[in-house]
Amino acid sequence: MKEIDVNRIQEILVTAATDIGLKILAAIAFWLIGRWLIGLALSILSKGLEQQKLDATILRYTRSVVSVTLNILLVIGILGYFGIQTTSFAALIATAGVAIGAAWAGLLSNFAAGVFVIVLRPFKVGDFVTAGGVTGTVKEIGLFSSTIYTPDNIATMVGNTKILGDTIQNFSHSSYRRVDLKCQLSSAADQNAAMKLLREKIASIPNVLQEPAVEVNILEFNLVGPVLAVRPYCNNNHYWQVYFESNRVMSESLTSAGFPSPVAAQNIAVK
């Protein structure tokens, strides 16, 4: 009798283990196939949006939203296969969402701000901006934060709420920008000749725009002499090249032309 009971128990255990094992294998298969189908759907979606000539900002944002939604549905489907009531699970998610929303209000506000960034479009992926106190090139506008690469190539993640609540400067919005430089002259220098020389030399620097023309004017005076405001214009991509080249040309051209070096001097009267 005992032998029969042991055999029966072993049979039940083997059957249950087999059933659970098959379900686990089926769940793994469903997950792999589901992930493959999600990847295929995202690929088709991306190609469709690209054909509509949507920019990378909207494309990445849409992919993120669709990817998260499809993965949640896949998990719910697998749980339903195991016999878990998906309606109860959905209600649980909704309840948890309310609790998490109360606890993580800042996270949800970042999500809402991300939506407004997409709708209002103060910038797009690839623009050079100052946003949320960070200056650099926008690489990604995410669900909760945006990634900006600074000029020294540091990836900086900034919360969308901070971006939307702060001043945004988009340097890529216009086709060109002005480079603001200063040039100190000696009080003994011929300022008009110096301004004419600098206009000609800086205008010949590669990538300096001829229109608007280079501006060279007296900005202020100090104890050394007049200070010139030197302002060439260039494309956004050439800003730093023009910036450094202009500084070099100002130094070399004034020295080659024989202009006196600006030296701080102070006259002391002794009685």
Q: Are residues 65 and 119 in the same domain?
A: no
- CATH code, 152: 2.30.30.60
> What is d(CA 160, CA 131) in angstroms, rounded to the nearest whole number?
9
Structural domain contains residue 109 = no
95-142 residue pLDDT tens: 665 655 555 566 677 777 888 888 888 898 889 999 999 999 999 888
Task: Give the chain's domain count.
Answer: 3
- Scored b (16 or more CB within 10 A) or e, 208-219 reads bbeeeebbbeee
Structural domain contains residue 56 = yes
What was the pLDDT predicted at 39?
84
> What is d(CA 130, CA 169) in angstroms, rounded to the nearest whole number?
5
What was the pLDDT predicted at 170?
93
Q: Are residues 18 and 94 in the same domain?
A: yes
> What is d(CA 5, CA 13) in angstroms, rounded to the nearest whole number?
12
What was the pLDDT predicted at 1?
45
Structural domain contains residue 268 = no
- Give the chain's residues under pLDDT 70: 1-9, 14, 16, 49, 52-58, 61, 81-107, 265-271
- CATH code, 30: 1.10.287.1260
What was the pLDDT predicted at 269?
60
Beta strands in 127-232 (DSSP E): 128-131, 134-141, 145-149, 155-159, 169-170, 176-178, 181-184, 215-221, 226-231
Q: Are residues 80 and 151 in the same domain?
A: no
Residue numbers of the domain that contains 159: 114-170
Closest listed residue to residue 190, CA positions, set 232, 226, 229: 226
Structural domain contains residue 108 = no
Q: Are residues 82 and 150 in the same domain?
A: no
Q: Are residues 16 and 89 in the same domain?
A: yes
- Calculate helix-pair angle for 86-103, 105-120, nearest 10 degrees: 90
Structural domain contains residue 266 = no
What was the pLDDT predicted at 2?
47
Structural domain contains residue 270 = no
